[in-house]
């Protein structure tokens, strides 16, 4: 390592901090294979969340790049992390039964959030050189930590749990990718001023301290009495909770499914349409008009269309006529109402029926005076028969059976009187 390069100066400035990485109990336990699995799981999930924020710092390097070479450097590093480094974490999480969704739902530790926020702050506030100073403390230190583990214990790469982690971070590909970043950083900062170097060093040392705090968190997360459940146990608990929730939703849906099936197999009830019966209009009936006429001798004035000229003489006679037929009995009236299917105003009585009533009235009057009126009675009977068969006028109501019988009885009575005389 050239001691005159910016990277070598930074490495030398941080050597005391980096030495603590190598002697850290978390790293030592990985080296000898005695690290508790729950601590390793807690570290992996936090580091997985860290890498998402870490790549954003690289992305800002692309945004602030002013040439293709710089863009390619940062984009190649992002590709490597997405398709290589993060795959290490995914495989381990799969082995531990931790899904990608569960990991992403985990809250970042305070140290993790502070660390990534600081790097993003530097990336937004400064340029490509400062971005490289921030990201190198992580990438470079991991390469050295893994290389030192293999140096201290060559069989560490063969460990059934930690071997993959040690092998990937100590690989030549990972070391070469870091070396590209270091060389590019030295190239850009070769002519930096002392003030610029101080800024690089401040960023590099601050991030190195954050790295040490990250290892401390990974070690202590399973040791805190206030946190008896490590992340490993928490993730297992979350997985069980999701399974229980799924089973609960399935059980809750069963009654609804049974009810739906029961409803589907039950014969549907017929839909009964409620009949709305309109209140009948109160109109004057033939019965009402005839009663009033018979009792009070009141003249009936009909509200009906203008009559033809041939009916005018008969209309004059009707003004002095009295009804000849009275109500037969209450039963006949009730039957008449049923047969009519409603009520009939006086103004709707047909001319034919009116003429029949007048003729019958005259016949009844002549019969009372004991004068032979056979011709008159015959005319009454003929008029009654015509009224029964005559086609009703427009708006006229057909004669009821009760009224027909009344007219027939009146005619028969008149005929009997004639026979006697």
Provide the annotated active-site residues: 138, 211
Report the interhelical angle of 128-152 vs 6-13 (nearest 10°). 60
CB-based contacts of 421: which residues, under 8 Å, 6+ apart? 370, 372
Which structure tokens are listed for 348? 């709707």
CB-based contacts of 292: which residues, under 8 Å, 6+ apart? 298
* 323 contacts 357 by C-beta, under 8 angstroms: yes
- Distance linking the first and last C-alpha atoms of the chain: 160
From the list 174, 59, 78, 70, the residue with the least C-alpha distance to 119 is 59
> 331-336: long-range contacts at Cβ-Cβ below 8 A with a sequence spacing of 24 or more?
332/402, 332/405, 332/406, 333/287, 333/402, 335/400, 335/401, 335/402, 336/287, 336/400, 336/401, 336/402, 336/403
CB-based contacts of 124: which residues, under 8 Å, 6+ apart? 60
Helices (H) and strands (E) counted in the chain, each on its own, are: 19, 0
Burial of 136 (0-12, 13-18, 19+ CB in 10 A): buried
Report the distance separating Cα 85 and Cα 50, nearest Å: 12
Q: Provide φ and ψ at 2, rounded to 5°.
A: -75, 120
* 49 contacts 108 by C-beta, under 8 angstroms: yes
Residue by residue, DSSP assigns 159-203 as -TTTHHHHHHHTSHHHHHHHHHHHHHHHHHTTT--HHHHHHHHHH
Task: Please write down the HEC assignment for all residues of 16-76.
Answer: HHHHHHHHCHHHHHHHHCCCCHHHHHHHHHHHHHHHHHHHHHHHHHHHHCCCHHHHHHHHH
């Amino acid at each position: 390592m050239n001691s005159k390069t910016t990277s070598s100066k930074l490495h030398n400035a941080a050597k005391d901090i980096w030495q603590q990485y190598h002697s850290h109990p978390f790293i030592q336990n990985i080296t000898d294979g005695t690290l508790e699995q729950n601590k390793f799981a807690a570290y992996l999930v936090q580091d997985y969340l860290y890498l998402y924020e870490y790549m954003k710092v690289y992305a800002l390097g692309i945004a602030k790049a002013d040439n293709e070479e710089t863009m390619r450097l940062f984009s190649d590093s992002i590709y490597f992390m997405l398709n290589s480094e993060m795959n290490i974490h995914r495989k381990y999480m799969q082995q531990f039964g931790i899904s990608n969704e569960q990991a992403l739902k985990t809250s970042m530790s305070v140290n993790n959030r502070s660390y990534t926020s600081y790097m993003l702050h530097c990336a937004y506030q400064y340029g490509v050189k400062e971005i490289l100073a921030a990201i190198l403390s992580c990438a470079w230190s991991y390469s050295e930590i893994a290389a030192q583990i293999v140096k201290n214990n060559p069989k560490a790469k063969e460990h059934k749990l930690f071997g993959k982690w040690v092998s990937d971070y100590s690989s030549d590909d990972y070391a070469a990718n870091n070396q590209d970043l270091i060389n590019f950083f030295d190239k850009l900062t070769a002519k930096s001023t002392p003030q610029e170097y101080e800024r690089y060093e401040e960023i590099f040392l601050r991030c190195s301290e954050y790295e040490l705090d990250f290892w401390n968190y990974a070690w202590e997360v399973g040791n805190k009495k206030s946190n008896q459940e490590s992340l490993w146990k928490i993730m297992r608990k979350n997985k069980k909770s999701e399974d229980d929730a799924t089973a609960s939703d399935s059980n809750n849906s069963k009654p609804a499914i049974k009810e739906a099936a029961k409803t589907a197999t039950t014969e549907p009830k017929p839909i009964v349409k409620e009949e709305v019966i309109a209140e009948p209009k109160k109109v004057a009936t033939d019965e009402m008009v005839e009663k009033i006429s018979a009792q009070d001798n009141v003249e009936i004035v009909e509200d009906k269309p203008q009559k033809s000229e041939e009916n005018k003489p008969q209309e004059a006679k009707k003004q002095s006529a009295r009804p000849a037929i009275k109500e037969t009995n209450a039963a006949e009236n009730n039957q008449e109402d049923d047969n009519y299917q409603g009520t009939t105003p006086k103004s709707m009585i047909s001319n034919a029926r009116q003429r029949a009533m007048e003729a019958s009235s005259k016949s009844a009057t002549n019969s009372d005076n004991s004068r032979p009126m056979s011709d008159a009675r015959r005319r009454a009977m003929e008029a009654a028969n015509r009224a029964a068969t005559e086609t009703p006028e427009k708006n006229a109501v057909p004669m009821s059976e009760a009224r027909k019988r009344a007219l027939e009885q009146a005619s028969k009575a008149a005929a009997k009187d004639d026979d006697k005389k």
